[in-house]
Amino acid sequence: MAIQPIPQRPNRRASMQTRARFSVLAALAAGLCLLFAPAIAQAAPVDFTIGIPGKTGCLVCHGDPKLTEVKSKKVLYISEQVMLGSVHKDVPCTKCHTDFDSALASQSHQGKKTDSKKIAGLSCKNCHEHAKQLKVYDKSTHGRLAMGGDDKAPTCADCHGSHEIKSLKKDKAYKAEFRMSAQKVCGKCHPKYYESYNDYYHGRAYKTGAADAPTCWDCHGAHEILPAAQTESKVAKGNLAKTCGACHPDSRAGFAKFGALIHGRDTMLGKNLLIKYKDKLLTWFGNTFLGSKEAAASVKPAAAKP
């Protein structure tokens, strides 16, 4: 019978020494990590800064005002105060950010980018009360572009706002504020049209805050917006009289032609004969009657010639 070796009991003292050594090494490693943390963060595959404590849910990270994508510098911060002032304050983030998988973290957090903005921007359809608007939006030029995958096509959130969204039905002050925000809502994509909206009673008055002046969607439509070339458009030639008739009683086709001023006043002023030739007239007048400097200058070199 073979004699089994008697297992030696671990030396208690030696074990204590090993632990102490390990602790010192661990402390050193932690110190080094802290020391080189920024460099490590730069090199890490994680593309955002670290969140701050004292928050819950998504705001643990997104409640940090400094939260930005390292490479793109895109701010990922969401103000808790803004969220609390929104009509969606009780709606969980994932109700709109449907691409965020809470179990696996979002694809974007794993480095696989989804168009989270667009997904969230169109997620209004998930609530039954917005179904009607979505049905109309789907047929509009904006909706068709968005559904067709155009990255620049405006989603619900592009016009109505996202985290700060308020109720147009319940909040009258916000409704008035939203009405005056055409530059932000429409002008950011259609700056030329916003700039040219400059006639007397419509554009100019609107831009100075006249509550009774029409905003873009009063004439062009909102969710149902279509290009003027399409016959169903509110601003199509055949529908202009009806559209103008919303404010101008007994508006007919002849009156609708007057609408050429709405976006065309500056162009029409430029085309006006008197204004077109104003500068020429003034130069001629100056040269003829006042003996302008230009006229004198043009004479002197000629006189100096042999």
Interaction site with another protein (CB under 8 A): 200-201, 204-205, 207-213, 244-245, 248-252, 254-255, 257-261, 264-265, 268-269, 272, 274-275
Least distance CB 177 / another protein (angstroms): 13
Residue 69's φ and ψ, nearest 5 degrees, are -70, 130
Least distance CB 230 / another protein (angstroms): 24
Closest CA to 79 of 155, 150, 164: 164
CB 205 within 8 A of CB 214: no
Least distance CB 207 / another protein (angstroms): 8
Burial code (b: 16+ CB inside 10 Å, e: under 16) for 173-207 equals ebeeebbbebbebbbeebeeebebbbbeebbeebb
Least distance CB 280 / another protein (angstroms): 16
Nearer to another protein, 19 or 252 (CB): 252
Nearer to another protein, 106 or 243 (CB): 243
Nearer to another protein, 48 or 178 (CB): 178
Distance CA 239, CA 228 (A): 10
Cα–Cα distance list, 15 to 11, 12, 25, 26 (Å): 6, 5, 15, 16
Nearer to another protein, 123 or 251 (CB): 251
Least distance CB 279 / another protein (angstroms): 15
CB 163 within 8 A of CB 79: yes
Least distance CB 210 / another protein (angstroms): 4
Q: What is the DSSP code (8-state) at residue 272? A: -
Least distance CB 208 / another protein (angstroms): 4
Give the pair of three-digit tokens for residue 7.
């297992």
Nearer to another protein, 164 or 266 (CB): 266
Nearer to another protein, 136 or 247 (CB): 247
Distance CA 279, CA 266 (A): 17
Nearer to another protein, 221 or 259 (CB): 259
Distance CA 293, CA 277 (A): 20
